[in-house]
Structure 1
Amino acid sequence: MNKTLISGLLCAGLLSACASSSSDLKYEFKSDTPKTKTSLEVPPDLTAPTQRDRYPIPQIATQTTATSVASPATGAVVAKTATVERAGTQRWLSVPGKSPAEIWPLLKAFWQDNGFVIQNENPDIGYMETDWAENRAKLGSTVVRGLLETVGLGSVMSTPERDRFRIRIEKTETGTDVFFSHQGMYEIYINEAKEDTRWQPRPTDPEMEAVFLSRFLVRLGVDEADATKAVAQAQISTQARARLDNGAIVLDDSFDRAWRRVGLALEHNGLAITDRDRTLGAYFVKPADDEIQKANANKPGSGVISKLAFWKDNAPAATPVSTNLRVQLTRIGDSQVRIEVRSADNQPATDKGLQTLLQQMVNELK
């Protein structure tokens, strides 16, 4: 390689680094899904993503400015095109006047534009899942990184963390509700020689969910500053209480809000919603595919990893729950809901591990 070429690459790297340093983006994701199968050092989802074009991706029009105001009735913050709802650390968007069929292609384009690949999608139940991606913003803006990125070797530098999202939409009387659920994992050394590693789950990040809800508001046409303000200032309208009661959860909240919140709590605790029937008050769920186990499958000392992230602690693994479960919500008057976990055929579930799940859900729903 001659001196002229080396100088050119260094200049390009410097320019790239300078350009990156001017950005204050905290989240800058890039998918790990390779075009061809590579080594296990690239974490999960090594299979080709399922792509369905039931709803074509539209061209996005120029963003328009919208304002946000606090609603005196609910405490939610209303943007011109959506309402930001909040309960505890949970947030979601209510988009009036838009059907799920209209929202779906916007979501698909949105996640692709933010560096993710859609790994699974099912428009029939309003469910979408991204692959695992790396937050490249955590690498910082350095001359070396800029140079490597310029010559196509950016993947040489990497962080020990990966993130993905589950996206769920539901039709409401006035429009569509949109839910983003984050999952994270990190890589650790498992021996003193630092030769072998293992991927471990890490807690859900409410801040990251809020950031992407804000970005999606911008995609809907809200001014960026107003979108950030709407998500940040969304207030809890009522202090809902949750408690365990005879093997079930009693939640002091309206059925509509309980329905939304329970769906998020299930996803945060490692369960995938395969179907739902709001009329019956039932979510049908199963343990999510253990992508962390896939990543660790052929690594020495990987051992047996529990199917559900909420069982991950220093104690021996709990007894696995059934493959398919039904989560039943029952109204108790106008301001309480009873939440029970049953078998798929609607019989009382007796799995020991369910007590751990119920306690984790109580902690989130409080």
Structure 2
Amino acid sequence: MSMRAFRLAAAAAAIASLSGCTFLGIDFNDDKVQYESSNSRANLEIPPDLTPIQNDNRFQVPARPGVVSANAEAEKARQAADANAPTASKIVPLTVRAKVMKEGTDRWLRVNAAPEQLWAVVQDFWPSVGLVVREQNPKTGYMETEWAENKAKLPQDIIRRTIGKVIDFAYSTGEQDQYRTRMERNDDGTTDIYISHRSMVEVVTGADKESTVWQPGPTDPTMEAEMLQRLALRIDAEFNPNASAEAEAEAQKELAQQFKVEPVATRARIENGADGKAAAVVLTDNFDQAWRRMGLVLDRMGFEQVDRDRTAGWFLVRYLDPAYEAAQKEKRGFFTNLFSSDAVIDAPNYRIHLSGEGAETRVTVQGPDGGEDATGVAPNILGLLAEQLR
């Protein structure tokens, strides 16, 4: 019996068993977020090219002297952030300690506190919305959640309202989400917090339509905004416990307004080389803007960041291109593949280099040492990046 058939049978059995009971008074939450961690269900099978690659995340958050801890120092850092903020970014003060930063369709939080102060708050935030943190590295400011299903997307019909709380496993959205959080320390003592969303969708396959596979789905900017909004309020409540209910309601109202995404013009174009293949992506952003956008895009696309150097302008990532993988397996020969078909092809490292050119930034893909890419995959990566950076 397929999983879908099993769910339908379970639902039917539950309806019959509850025929003599009254559950119509159940109060269901209309919240946008009702996550059920995937570790309470069958494991989600991730395609090989999306499986997180174990690495020794070595990139360090840029150091700065001193640690902001006292309220006076925090206020001083906040004022400095206002004074030094780039004019291209619209900064909207929302709470005492958190602000929303806007650049095109991208949103992130700027908090006038050090990452050391914020780490535990972010760490506790994800379980508060029903998500389990599966990977974290305080040295790099990186956190990743388990895959989970958002039950808020299920239709709230009479059957689900009646029995959904009893056998919730019988219902499935066919989608699972994952979030990545990245914190970066700024020179003025503030911290930027980015949240990116990834999704997987369950697709029916086979001639009899009885089997399913998981495939990558689209990112959802509205869910990124939702989580950033909730995190901003969480930070405000943590550092301002005596705020009035009226102040909290006003902050939430302003947050909702500032997270509205408005359409923007295309900001990326591909430049081809003499061979007609993509040689670079040119962004109509200055370096600081391009750096922030690139970090978010790499997170959304699932690239594994191995290292980064903002001063030199590069991200070191691992990526296994499907065409490259197939070519490497073919090179091993028939008999090698016959007796070791499950042998894994190592994902190469690539350096994504950003070069500021005034109001524009040029993005190229290099080999891991900064030289020319020897795998032939650079044009493919540039094409993927250009699509996401538009």
Shared fold, TM over 0.5:
yes
Alignment match of 1:93 (pick from 98, 109, 129) = 109
SS at match of 1:232: coil
CA distance in 2, matches of 1:235, 1:78: 22
Q: Is residue 2:188 matched to residue 1:164?
A: no
CA distance in 2, matches of 1:15, 1:263: 47
Structure 1 contact 29–115 (Cα < 8 Å) conserved: yes
Alignment match of 1:230 (pick from 258, 263, 271) = 258
Q: Is residue 2:232 matched to residue 1:217?
A: yes
Residues 1-366 of structure 1 aligned to structure 2 (within 5 Å): 10-11=21-22, 13-16=23-26, 19-20=27-28, 23-34=29-40, 39=42, 43=45, 73=87, 74-80=89-95, 81-95=97-111, 97-146=112-161, 148-151=163-166, 153-174=167-188, 175-221=190-236, 223-232=251-260, 240-244=267-271, 246=273, 247-287=279-319, 322-332=347-357, 334-366=358-390
SS at match of 2:24: helix
- Give the number of equivalent residue pairs: 300
Deviation, structure 1 residue 8: 11
SS at match of 1:15: coil
Structure 1 contact 265–365 (Cα < 8 Å) conserved: yes
Q: Deviations over 1:141-178 (max 9, x none)?
A: 34543554544x32122121111111111001231111
The amino acid across from 1:342 in the alignment is Q
Which residue number in structure 2 is paired with residue 301 of structure 1? none
The amino acid across from 1:155 in the alignment is F
The structure in which a higher percent of residues are helix is 2
SS at match of 1:220: helix
Structure 1 contact 252–335 (Cα < 8 Å) conserved: yes
Structure 1 contact 204–268 (Cα < 8 Å) conserved: yes
> Residues 235 and 190 (structure 1 numbering): CA distance in 2 closer, same or farther, change over 3 Å?
closer
Structure 1 contact 187–199 (Cα < 8 Å) conserved: yes
Which residue number in structure 2 is paired with residue 311 of structure 1? none
CA distance in 1, matches of 2:257, 2:147: 28
Deviation, structure 1 residue 232: 1.7
Q: Deviations over 1:181-227 (max 9, x none)?
A: 11111111112312111111111111111111111121122632121
Structure 2 contact 24–162 (Cα < 8 Å) conserved: yes
CA distance in 2, matches of 1:85, 1:245: 33
Deviation, structure 1 residue 94: 1.7
Q: Output the TM-score relative to the length of structure 2.
A: 0.67
Taking only the aligned residue pairs, the percentage that are identical comes to 32
Q: Output the TM-score relative to the length of structure 1.
A: 0.71
CA distance in 1, matches of 2:20, 2:131: 28
Structure 1 contact 321–351 (Cα < 8 Å) conserved: no
Deviation, structure 1 residue 230: 2.0
Aligned alpha-carbon RMSD (Å): 3.4
> Residues 90 and 356 (structure 1 numbering): CA distance in 2 closer, same or farther, change over 3 Å?
farther
Structure 2 contact 305–316 (Cα < 8 Å) conserved: yes
The runs of 5 or more residues in structure 1 that have no matched partner are: 1-5, 51-70, 291-303, 308-319
Deviation, structure 1 residue 133: 0.6
Structure 2 contact 46–214 (Cα < 8 Å) conserved: no
Structure 1 contact 88–365 (Cα < 8 Å) conserved: no
CA distance in 2, matches of 1:88, 1:321: 36
CA distance in 1, matches of 2:209, 2:289: 47
Deviation, structure 1 residue 113: 0.7
CA distance in 2, matches of 1:324, 1:137: 38
> Residues 242 and 126 (structure 1 numbering): CA distance in 2 closer, same or farther, change over 3 Å?
farther
The runs of 5 or more residues in structure 2 that have no matched partner are: 1-16, 55-84, 237-247, 274-278, 326-344
